[in-house]
Structures are given as structure tokens and as C-alpha cells.
Structure 1
Amino acid sequence: MLKTLRAGAPAVAVLFAPVMVWRACAGSLSPQEFTQVERGRYLSILSDCSGCHTAPGGKPFSGGRLIETPFGNIASANITPDVKTGIGTWSDDEFEAALRKGIGRTGAHLYPAMPYNAFTKMSREDVLAIRAYLNSLQPVRNSRSPKTLPFPFSIRAAMTVWNALYFQEGSYKPDPVRSAEWNRGKFIVDGPGHCGACHTPKTLLGGERVDQYLQGASLQGWSAPDITGDSRAGLARWTVEDIALYLKTGHNRTAAAAGPMAEVVDLSTSKMTEEDRQAIATYLKSLRGR
């Protein structure tokens, strides 16, 4: 989520994400469908789908962007409703399984470069709203190579072990003793925002070290800083307003976004509502440092 001039991190891939059948352009949708489409559009912003699924110079959401991982590059999927190279023939259940369970259409495991371990915290209704939004897009014919990882990382069956170690399926459960704003912030940070994908240190297998939640990590030459309340390296000196302003504009009185985080601000956090940026800031300020 937060990266400064001294720290940045690649936007994490939303690979193999939303899938749908293209039915009509947005102008012919019913009022009820339009509401779902608009909800899905906003959830796709929270999830920063376009950041990973749009290649430099390519058409929006048509995939092909190479996503760096410690194990090799992965080409992002075409998530337009093209029936041959996109996701135009997937069912609702297949779509949900990919986004919330990490299971592809063929039944094979997906790689956590598509952060299903975070997206599982969205509800079925959330992910089907994203599907409805993607369903409203113009189909784009653009194929990609799904096999870019070297052996043995190309063996998808190994994800069974990874999932047993690091994946817990289930939608977000609000903390009843916390405010609605705090819960909204935690949901975004842990769910669609998948902040831990960059800001939580990883094991050798690429899983998140939950005991070092959001305490900063290094990824592909960029450093994603500690975004807890740690007084040495974290956000202890940042106010709620500082965080919200940073998410809106990419800078505040102490820091400015650079590199991949500048893209995240441009495509995602700057387009969030003021209420959601405030909720994220409120949640992050509640986290204790090391």
C-alpha cells in the first residue's frame, strides 16, 4: 500500500482474476445491473486489477504484462470478456473459485501472484460484482503464454503444500468491538487492497510471515516499508490525515511515492473514496510497532 521515495514495491499481480460472459455494453444494462457493474468497477479499483492486467502500450485489462516474482516471471491474464483469449466463457462458480480459492477453470491451482489468499476475504457477491463490471468491457483478442516459470516452479501441484501452509479460505469477519470505519479499513488492507503482499516479509516459499504483519519487505529491488505504528521505521510520526493524503495524491509533508507505488496511487488509491482512504488510515494507525 504505502511506499515512499526510500521505499517502493511492485504492484502485486491480480492474475487469473475476474471472469465472465460478455452480454452487452453498459448503456443497455438495467438499473439493477448498472448498480452491480458500478460496485464491481469500484471493487476492481480497490483491487488494482488494471495495474497488473494492462501491459505497457496494451489495451486495458487485456493482459500480457510480465509480473516479476522470486521464482520467475508470470504473464498476466487477459480478463476482458473475449471468448477465445479472455474469460468470456467462464461461469460464476469458476470465476469465484479462481478469485477466492485459487482454483483455475481446469481445476489446476493458481499461483499466489494472483493474491487469492487476500481476495478470499471478499464475499461471493463482491467477486460477482467485479465479474459484472468486467462483463461490461469491450472484448479484446490477446493471447499470452501461461507457462513462463522454470521447473520445478512450473509444477502447479506443489501449490497444494503452499495452500496448506499459507492459505485460509473465508470472507472477512468484522470485529464487533471495533468501529465500522476500522473494520472497513482492515477489510480493504487485508482483502482487495492485498497490502501484505508487498509489506509483509515472506518465507523462502513466498508465504507471508504473519508474525511480522505489515512490517516491511524487499521485493525485486524495491523496499516496501513498515506500515505499522513502529516508531523507528513505521508510521508512528504520520497522522491519519498524512496517510489519507498520501493515498490520494502520492505525497504528504514527509514522503512522496516513487516507482511502482506511484502507479498504485494513480490507478487505485487516488480513485478510492475519501471515506475508504480515511478508513485505511484509521486501521493502519491502530497497529502497534515491533
Structure 2
Amino acid sequence: MAGFKKRPFKTLALVAAAVAGVSAPAVAQGTSQAPADDAALVDRGAYLARAADCMPCHTGDPKKPYAGNLPFNTPFGRMFSVNITSDPTYGIGTWTFDDFKNALHNGIRKDGAYLYPAMPFDAYTGVSDTDLKALWAYVRRIPAVAEPRQANELSFPFNVRLGLLAWRELFFDASYWTPTPGKSDQWNRGAYLAEVLGHCSDCHTPRNLMGAVKQKQHFLGADIDGYWAPSIDAAQLKKDGWTKDALTQFFTNGSVPGKTEVFGPMAEVVRESLAYLTAADREALVTYLLDSPPPKDVPAPQAASPLPADVFQRAAQSYVDNCAPCHGAGGAGNANVIPSLKDNPAVTAAEPYNVIMAVLGGLPAGGTYGPMPSFAGRLSDQQVADLVNYVRTSWHNGGMANTTPAMVAAWRATANVPTYGTQQASAFDCPQVGGAPGNTGPDPQAVAAITKMMQGGERQTRLLIATYQNADTDASAGTVVDALTAAYCPVVAQTQLPDWQKAGELQRFTLQVAAAISEGLPGASMPPVSTIWATPTGTSLVARQPTQVAAQLTCPDPTNAKLVPKALVDAAVTLVGKPAVPVTGDAASRFATTLLQQNPKARRSDVANALIVAYCPLVTAKPNTVVAEQYSLLTNFGQQVVQTLQLGAPQFNASAQ
């Protein structure tokens, strides 16, 4: 997406991000402390910023340099560049050097969100710390401009940043640039300028449907927002008659008599960037472009993997679907909450059994880590083997891809996995309703009618509930949930999803119906707060999710006895105390068990909600957390409590209490 710019021919200008007299950048990276404020470093950074064409990309209004809002037309919608002035509200005035480095090297902005590859972090990841520090020394001194950024106009699903997880797994490898052995210092300098600082391929290489450059067509030209960025691979440059002297002259003043004259956006590139290159850097750039290597066959992450291409892509998607929501992109984990899979000795051990067993059987909570569920019911033996091999060999892990389906099958047969974890139990099947003498379950005709409604596209939960209740006026809440589940199941079964995804979608719908119908039950009023809320339904509990996460996490009012008995809240506050957040899964389970033992006559949904009320203020008081993180911490705690109460009393009937 980075190539779809208003100024499509500026890529060659971006290769100018270098400083006179600086040799090939050091590969070894040192500390990430903020650089000193010496004038030489700032001047060097100013050269980098101007030579790299930073200002034109980050300037929509010429009167407001670096204040962003330059539109980028992409196949996925319209995007706007960001404000990189020192303004603390709309710019990057509150950033540190580590924030700046994380954005350029890892593609992650200050608030932890993934950057869209319209910002070419896939190239900048190779920039040396030496150059980053010089650039930061200048950028953080850009005069503040209080200019809010225009919202991106992206279509679904490209407007969901979490969707970038798949992009990052398949196409992004956060690693520093390394010189090519056997090549001259000048050639390597040119390679660093063209491939890293200049990110030439962003404009001069076509992109696939996911917005990643096509490696096999590196430098072969691309259509950019109505313009053609020509082929600049070595063979084509020579075929078109470009010599070292001619290309050097073109980069100097945009004119080669008798051959070409710069025009349009490229004129700005020459005027604002290429004209400021030193002779040494320009010569290095030309040397590399006229001798650039043949294109790579595959993206960097796949190139570093021992897995076959089709296996790598399937396993990467499996990791995104099953593991990345907790373990994150690149297996990085989450501090003391979720363990890292990268550089983890247990993951890269000689034998893969530890990882196989974790996937099949899950892991209990321990230390500061919460529990990990079993994935045995979701994944076949082949899928588990592929996933384990992917985790052991990705992100520069040094494990071996030595897991086989037969090995997984053997461990599945002997492991203590849930009953749904057998391969036979993982097959998707729909419940049968009606037909038996004296059947008191859902009405089959009403179920069939609702199935037709849903096949026609109807998905409004409350409308579907009301439709069934009109047809079966004596139905209990549990029967309504069963009826709608049975009605939706054939609709899901007709999709092309794998069985485990069908089961997951049906479970999601069932919980949605259960939460919706619970709102109408006595004692199950829903508070207007952005927290999860345990509600009784049938013979168990369900964690009701809020419709959206508010701009500020709002805790339930502990004095509102209509929601939870105040005495129970007081007991929960005393029991929980003021521990460090997050508490472990074991601690959350212990709170639930203890509070229920202390109040044996209390409704279990009230016990869960009393603990949520007690824990919520601790979460909101946790320093340096954004709303999304607070919501995640509270949700994890609440779900652990609800699960403990469910498992502790599988036959509990909430309506009888």
C-alpha cells in the first residue's frame, strides 16, 4: 500500500536517506536510549529527513510542513499521512526514541496499534540504530503544528487494524539489514540506500491482493494512482540505455539531454531530495541499481522458513486464527501475562513434545500466566503438526520442523485432552429436534421457519427470539436458546468453513442468544457500563459482552443493590483486597470459590458480578494502560471467575436459586 501515493515517482528520491561521509551502516545494534542533543547529530538528521523526502509525504497543506493529511489513494480506500511535528496532541511530541524506533523498526505505533504498510516499515526495519538516532534528533525538533489528522477512509475489513496480524505473519520480518558478502562497500552502501532507507520497491514493484509487494516482480514497475512507476531492475535499465553517467546526471538535475527530462511529481523528487545527495551516495546508489540481484522468490518470513510454501501459508494462518490473539504477532507474548513463543527454550527444544502437548491439552494457570485452552477439538493431527513446526521455526527460532501427524496422533491418544478433543468429536454435526414421542424440546416447524429466515440473511437476535416465542409461547429460556441454535446450525453447515470454525461460529451465536434472552429474566438487568456481566441462562452462566468498548472504561456502581447485593460486593472487595493487576488465573478461581463458600445461598451470577465490581477499580487505576488493555484485563478476570463457577456446579440451575 505504501506505493499508492499522490507522488508516485518519488521512490528513487527516497533512496537519498543517507549522509555524506557515512560508511555502510553498522549492523550490530546497541542501546535504544535517546540520542544526545549535539548540533552535528541534529544536522545529520535534517539531511536524512530532507534527502528521504519525509516532508512531502507528511505534508498535505504546504503552509503546514510535516503536519500530515496528504491523501494516499489505495485499492483498499483512502488514507492520510500522519502529523509528525512535535505537537503533543496531534503530532509525536510525547514520543520517546523507543517509540520512534518501534514505529520504524517494528511497525507499531506508540499506543501499541499496528501500522498500515502505507508507512514502509517493512523496509525501514533494516535501518541501523545510528541512522535512527540521527533522524530522531531532527524529527523531534520539528516545530509543533496543531493539525488533527483526517480519518482514513478504508473499507471493511481493511479498517480493522487487528487484521494486520495476518499481513505481518506472512510478509513482515523485523530484522536489521546486513551487507552482502563478496560485494564492495560501495555496492552494499547502494543496496542499503535502495532497499532500506529508499524503499524503492514500494513504488516500483506491483502488489498482491493483500497489499504486499510481489517479490518475484521486484523493481519491475507498477501502476501507482494513475501513473506508471517504470521498471528499474538492472536488466531493464541497461536495456533502456542507462549508463552510470546518465543515471547519475538524472539523479542530480532530472535532465539527460537527448534522452529524458523530468516532469510531474518526479520533478519535486529531484528538486526536494535527489539534488541534495552527496556525490558518494549518488554513485553508490547508481552502482547498486545497475547491478541489483535477481528478485527473491518469496517474502522474507517464508524465505527464512524450512517449511514448504503451501504449508507455511496454511500454518501462518492457523497461528493467526488460534494463537496470535494471545501470543501476538511474531510470537512476542505480552509481558508477564502471556509467555513469548519467540526465543523460548521450551518451544525450540530438540523434541517437539512440549509444544504438541500444550496445543492438545492446554495449560493450567501458573505464576503470573493465565490458563491456555485446549485446541485438540479445533485442529486435526495434520493441522497441529503444521502449527507446531511453524512456531518452532518462525521468528528466527532455532527449532526443527520435526513434528509429524502420526506423532500428534500418538500423543492425542495418550494425552489428557477434553472429550471434545478427539478427532471424531471435532466433526461438525447439527442437533435434531422433534420426532420423538412426548418430545418437550424446540418446536421443529418453528425451528425450520427460522432457519429459512436466517438463510435469507436475517441475523437480528431479538427478532429471531421474538419469532420463536410467538410460535412456542410456553417455551423456557433454555428452549429458546436451543431452538435458535438448532435453526442456525444448518446455515453454518452449508458454509465452506472447516469444522472447527463452524463449531466456533455456532458457539458464538449461542452465547449471543443466551445473553440477549437473559436480559429479560428476573434479576438479570443489564447495567449501562462497559464491562462484561455474568448473567444466568438455563442451567449455567454466560459472560455478557458489552456492545462496544467505551472511550473510558466505566465500572459498575458498588452501591447499586439492584445489580448485585451490596453485602456481597463488600465481601468481594474485602476478599480481593488490592493485589497487583493482573492477578493470576489461579487467584481469580480462588476468589470465586472462596466467595461462594462464604455465601452459599447467593446466586452464582451475583458472586461473579460482585468480584467483577471489586476488581474493576483496580484495573482502571493501573497506570499506563489504555482502555482496550483495561477492558482485556477485566474481561480475562471475569471470564475466569464465570468459568470457575460453571465448572464447580455443572448442574446448577440459576433460575431455581
Question: Per the shorter chain, which TM-score range?
Answer: 0.7 to 0.9
Q: Is the alpha carbon distance of 1:64 and 1:37 closer, same or farther for their aligned partners in structure 2, counting shifts above 3 Å?
A: same
Q: Partner residue of 1:219?
A: 224
Distance 1:95 1:101 in 2: 10
Distance 2:132 2:151 in 1: 23
Contact 1:81–1:139 (8 Å) recurs in 2: yes
1:192 aligns with 2:189: no
Query: Residue 205 of structure 1: which of 190, 202, 210 is its match?
Result: 210
Paired residue type of 1:143: P
Distance 2:141 2:284 in 1: 29
Distance 1:235 1:106 in 2: 46
Query: Residue 97 of structure 1: which of 102, 105, 118 is its match?
Result: 102
Contact 1:100–1:122 (8 Å) recurs in 2: yes
1:252 aligns with 2:256: yes
1:234 aligns with 2:237: yes
The TM-score with structure 1 as length reference comes to 0.85
Query: Residue 170 of structure 2: which of 165, 172, 176 is its match?
Result: 165
SS in 2 for 1:144: coil
Distance 1:31 1:170 in 2: 25
Q: Is the alpha carbon distance of 1:42 and 1:155 closer, same or farther for their aligned partners in structure 2, counting shifts above 3 Å?
A: same
Q: Partner residue of 1:73?
A: 78
Distance 2:181 2:43 in 1: 28
Using the TM superposition, name which of 43-52 and 219-228 deviates more: 43-52
Q: Is the alpha carbon distance of 1:118 and 1:110 closer, same or farther for their aligned partners in structure 2, counting shifts above 3 Å?
A: same
Q: Partner residue of 2:403?
A: none
1:107 aligns with 2:106: no
Residue by residue, what CA displacement relative to the aligned partner does 1:148-179 show, whole Å, maximum 9, x if unpaired? Answer: 32222111111111112221211211123111
Q: Is the alpha carbon distance of 1:10 and 1:151 closer, same or farther for their aligned partners in structure 2, counting shifts above 3 Å?
A: farther
SS in 1 for 2:79: strand
1:278 aligns with 2:319: no
Paired residue type of 1:248: T
Distance 2:10 2:44 in 1: 22
Contact 1:43–1:192 (8 Å) recurs in 2: no
Contact 1:79–1:134 (8 Å) recurs in 2: yes
Q: Partner residue of 2:181?
A: 176
The TM-score with structure 2 as length reference comes to 0.39
Paired residue type of 2:262: A
Residue by residue, what CA displacement relative to the aligned partner does 1:162-220 show, whole Å, maximum 9, x if unpaired? Answer: 11222121121112311111111110101111100011121121111112211111111
Paired residue type of 1:241: D
Using the TM superposition, name which of 210-219 and 113-122 deviates more: 210-219
Using the TM superposition, name which of 111-120 and 198-207 deviates more: 198-207
Contact 2:127–2:196 (8 Å) recurs in 1: yes
Alignment of 1:8-157 (within 5 A): 9-11=8-10, 33-157=38-162
Distance 1:144 1:158 in 2: 22
Please report how far the alpha carbon of residue 289 of structure 1 lies from its aligned counterpart in structure 2 after TM superposition: 7.5
Q: Is the alpha carbon distance of 1:149 and 1:67 closer, same or farther for their aligned partners in structure 2, counting shifts above 3 Å?
A: same
Please report how far the alpha carbon of residue 147 of structure 1 lies from its aligned counterpart in structure 2 after TM superposition: 3.4
Percent identity of paired positions between Structure 1 and Structure 2: 37
Paired residue type of 2:237: G
Q: Is the alpha carbon distance of 1:289 and 1:39 closer, same or farther for their aligned partners in structure 2, counting shifts above 3 Å?
A: same
Please report how far the alpha carbon of residue 49 of structure 1 lies from its aligned counterpart in structure 2 after TM superposition: 0.6
Q: Partner residue of 1:26?
A: none
SS in 2 for 1:109: coil
The gaps in structure 1 that reach 5 residues or longer are 1-7, 15-29
Distance 1:81 1:31 in 2: 17
Please report how far the alpha carbon of residue 223 of structure 1 lies from its aligned counterpart in structure 2 after TM superposition: 0.6
Please report how far the alpha carbon of residue 57 of structure 1 lies from its aligned counterpart in structure 2 after TM superposition: 2.9
Aligned length: 265
Contact 2:66–2:85 (8 Å) recurs in 1: yes
Question: Of Structure 1 and Structure 2, which has the larger fraction of its residues in helix?
Answer: 2
Contact 1:199–1:217 (8 Å) recurs in 2: yes
Distance 2:46 2:153 in 1: 29
Distance 1:11 1:184 in 2: 20
Q: Is the alpha carbon distance of 1:288 and 1:82 closer, same or farther for their aligned partners in structure 2, counting shifts above 3 Å?
A: closer
SS in 2 for 1:73: strand
Please report how far the alpha carbon of residue 268 of structure 1 lies from its aligned counterpart in structure 2 after TM superposition: 1.5
